[in-house]
Structure 1
Amino acid sequence: MSVANTVSDVVARARAAQAEFESFDQAAIDNAVCALAWVVMEPGRNRLLAEQAVADTGLGSVDDKVLKNYRKTLGLLRDLKEARTVGVIAEYPELGLTEIARPVGVVGAVTPSTNPVATPTNNVINAVKAGNAVILAPSPKGEATGNRLVEYFRAALKQVGVPEDLVQKLPSPVNREATRELMSQVDLVVATGSQNNIRAAYSSGTPAVGVGQGNVAVIVDETVDCSLAAEKIVASKCFDHATSCSSENSVIVVDAAYDRFCEALVNHGAVILDPVEKQILQDTMWVNGSLNPSILARSAAEIADIAGLDRVDSDNSILVVLESGTGPEYPFSGEKLSPVLTLYRTPDFDAACEQVQTIYGYQGAGHSVGLHSNDAERAVKIGLKLPTCRVIVNQAHCFAAGGSFDNGLPFSLSMGCGTWGGNSVSDNVNYRHYLNIVRIVRPIPINEPFEEDLLADYWNQYGK
């Protein structure tokens, strides 16, 4: 059977299941959402899936994935608990408007090897909450994990009386041709992962939500407690061996805080490499201009061992290199997908912003900027000046950018980066992106202004 026909069969089953699911009310949909969430939150399954994810992909930490799978799903469940996605969801009598939620149909979700459980779980739950069917296209490395995850999802749906074919994955082996074919046949593509997949999603001819590249830069200024800032940055950077696109990649420290911050980094488990060690690490991490797969999402100690650096042991959680340049000739200025942090020193806050601008001119525009500061106005200045969709203030970045219990962002593993990052969305991808909204429009009293009500100031200044 051809790839097109194979994919067509999967899509046809999804459409049949989704058509049946459209008759379910909000309570039944929410029950299905809880069943899907418990698949990953249940401790035994969660650990089994995390262990398989690391075994299959070689990326990340089992214990950290267990925590990530649980907290990301718990947070998503909290976000969705009161959300209405069936029938009338809002009324605005003064405008004569009524909003009705409708599903988009069949969603194709392209997911990365870095998060082969947490990301597809987020996609599936959001899609089902919105009344859709969803077909997963995992990365080849994460496919075996995806098979097990989907088996669990389907069993959970069956248990609560929901059509199993509401959740499927592409038949094995998943490859680029099948993924591209899926993109062309579904009603919506949600793509997370490599920029090649994102570009393919946007050029598929199907409406798409794709997200941008990481390479997060963080500013540390002179007003902050350097020990607290360093503690948060190290905890974030080493979590799951930096598989997250929200992990800090560069920290730009103003001169007045630089020495204190470096000391704090070391106190919290960082090793700051000297120039010779930096070159050894660079030669290990990049081969012919590309990141060496053997160091991706490995612990700092493992990377140091591969590189032959003998100053690092299991107590050291991240490696730090000092940098002044940006661009392809300075590979540490880009995304590293490893617990390796690049440190820049700048004279002041304005120069730090300029350094972030330069970094994002190379890689990472649109995603987010971190700020550790006690000057509230500086976050606003960043939001007004830099190409970023999020300014994360005084938080561990990889825990905060995708939603946290102590900030107001939706829980997500897919961060829209706006036009700066080549995306159609600038917020955290959430259930609303999986819905069509119908608006019933009724007549209201006429509200037509006179010209002078709107143009008087302009006329007074420039004339008619």
Structure 2
Amino acid sequence: IFQCVENPSIPMTEYLMSQCDLTMATGGKPMVQAAYSSGKPAYGVGAGNATMVIDEDADITEAAMNSRISKTSDFGSGCSADGNLVIHAKVYDQMKSALITEGGYLCSPEEKVLLQKALWKEDGSRRVETVAIAAQRIADFAGFSIPNDRKFIMVEQAEIGKEHKFSGEKLCVVMALYKAADFDDAMVKVRAIYEVGGKGHSCGIYSFNDDHILRHAMNAPVSRVMVRQPQSKANAGSFANGMPMTSSLGCGIWGGNITNENVSLKHYMNVTWVARPIPEDRPSDEELFGEFYNTEVM
């Protein structure tokens, strides 16, 4: 049975959370914090800032197509939509051209200044007027025009930090392009981007180098790493990657959440464990502590 509050309000939402058995909270950090403070069990999810690494061996055509699919889904409003592409210098120009072929519009430096004012207010808060709308409407709001066949907007970006708004979550069909001198530089940039926002959520990589894929997974403080897939589709689970299907992506303690899993049916169920006696299998101290075992301090 689904029930809906016809005239929602913050007090009504707080009351509902205090009465229900379990709250599934999304929609921003204040909502998640309110759910955790409701006195009832709650699952919260965190903000995204999905960042893709385009390695030197990437299939550029596939990477550009998937980035377009991910960026334009729901007009880029999803937390998993590609926000930043960190592109190896050897394939940077090729990737940029492929993104234009896929429907991207590359802003001039002057247009980029106008675009930033259209997305963020002077105090740094996001303008709701340009969230989840078509690229043409964003450009019109900013004060410039783009062709009708363009599906998303790109800006070239070098700086990273909270004061550089394009390195954070955008909630629209705008993505930032970063040129990495090499893979090591890409890892530095990825780490810096997640210090701006999106910790615990997700990242991706287009590479066939298993060592690079593992390094990316170990480097990025996220719960999900999608390999050669459209991020906004793959994060939520598919029959082709084995991820649990959901629209609620936990970010763990990185993002201030109780879980970093894809919140799905199992999280809504109580489980009863029935434990029968079994033969004891007690490990020795040496087995238990492994390389940290030291008889001199035991």
Match of 1:305 among 130, 137, 140: 140
Q: CA deviation at 1:273?
A: 0.8
SS at match of 1:197: helix
Match of 1:204 among 11, 16, 38: 38
Q: 2:268 — aligned with what? A: 434
Letter in 2 for 1:390: R
Match of 1:276 among 93, 105, 110: 110
Match of 1:383 among 187, 212, 217: 217
Q: CA deviation at 1:454?
A: 5.1
Q: Partners of 1:454 and 1:303 in 2: how far apart?
A: 58
Match of 1:292 among 127, 139, 150: 127
Letter in 2 for 1:272: L
TM-score scaled by structure 2? 0.93
Q: CA deviation at 1:461?
A: 7.1
**Residues 356-371 of structure 1: pairs in structure 2 closer than 5 A:** 356-371=190-205
Q: Partners of 1:346 and 1:264 in 2: how far apart?
A: 17
SS at match of 2:236: coil
Q: Partners of 1:449 and 1:345 in 2: how far apart?
A: 51
> Structure 1 residues 433 and 280 mapped into 2: Cα distance closer, same or farther (>3 Å)?
same
Unaligned runs of 5+ in 1: 1-165
1:86-143: CA deviation from partner (whole Å, max 9, x where unpaired): xxxxxxxxxxxxxxxxxxxxxxxxxxxxxxxxxxxxxxxxxxxxxxxxxxxxxxxxxx
Do structure 1's residue 351 and structure 2's residue 159 form an aligned pair? no
* Runs of 4 or more consecutive aligned structure 1 residues displaced over 6 Å after TM superposition: 455-461
SS at match of 1:436: coil
SS at match of 1:367: strand
> Structure 1 residues 327 and 461 mapped into 2: Cα distance closer, same or farther (>3 Å)?
same
Aligned sequence identity (%): 38
Unaligned runs of 5+ in 2: none
Match of 2:3 among 154, 158, 168: 168
SS at match of 2:71: helix
RMSD: 1.9
> Structure 1 residues 378 and 186 mapped into 2: Cα distance closer, same or farther (>3 Å)?
same
Do structure 1's residue 396 and structure 2's residue 230 form an aligned pair? yes
Q: CA deviation at 1:347?
A: 0.8
1:288-341: CA deviation from partner (whole Å, max 9, x where unpaired): 32222221101111211222222x122101110111112332111111111001
> Structure 1 residues 285 and 441 mapped into 2: Cα distance closer, same or farther (>3 Å)?
same
**Residues 155-234 of structure 1: pairs in structure 2 closer than 5 A:** 166-170=1-5, 172-234=6-68
> Structure 1 residues 332 and 458 mapped into 2: Cα distance closer, same or farther (>3 Å)?
closer
Is the 8 Å Cα contact of residues 156 and 177 (structure 2) preserved in structure 1?
A: yes
Q: 1:330 — aligned with what? A: 164
1:251-278: CA deviation from partner (whole Å, max 9, x where unpaired): 1111111111111111111111111010
Number of residues paired by the alignment? 297
Q: Partners of 1:342 and 1:455 in 2: how far apart?
A: 46
> Structure 1 residues 265 and 450 mapped into 2: Cα distance closer, same or farther (>3 Å)?
closer
Q: Partners of 1:228 and 1:407 in 2: how far apart?
A: 17
SS at match of 2:267: helix
Q: CA deviation at 1:447?
A: 3.0
Q: Identify the structure with the greater helix proportion.
A: 1
> Structure 1 residues 304 and 463 mapped into 2: Cα distance closer, same or farther (>3 Å)?
closer
SS at match of 2:223: coil
Q: CA deviation at 1:250?
A: 0.7
Q: Partners of 1:424 and 1:456 in 2: how far apart?
A: 30
1:16-70: CA deviation from partner (whole Å, max 9, x where unpaired): xxxxxxxxxxxxxxxxxxxxxxxxxxxxxxxxxxxxxxxxxxxxxxxxxxxxxxx
SS at match of 2:87: strand
Is the 8 Å Cα contact of residues 118 and 142 (structure 2) preserved in structure 1?
A: yes
Q: Partners of 1:252 and 1:456 in 2: how far apart?
A: 39
1:396-427: CA deviation from partner (whole Å, max 9, x where unpaired): 11111111221110111010111111111111
Q: 2:152 — aligned with what? A: 318
Which of 1 and 2 has greater Rg?
Answer: 1
Q: CA deviation at 1:184?
A: 1.5
SS at match of 2:95: helix
> Structure 1 residues 444 and 168 mapped into 2: Cα distance closer, same or farther (>3 Å)?
same
SS at match of 1:440: coil
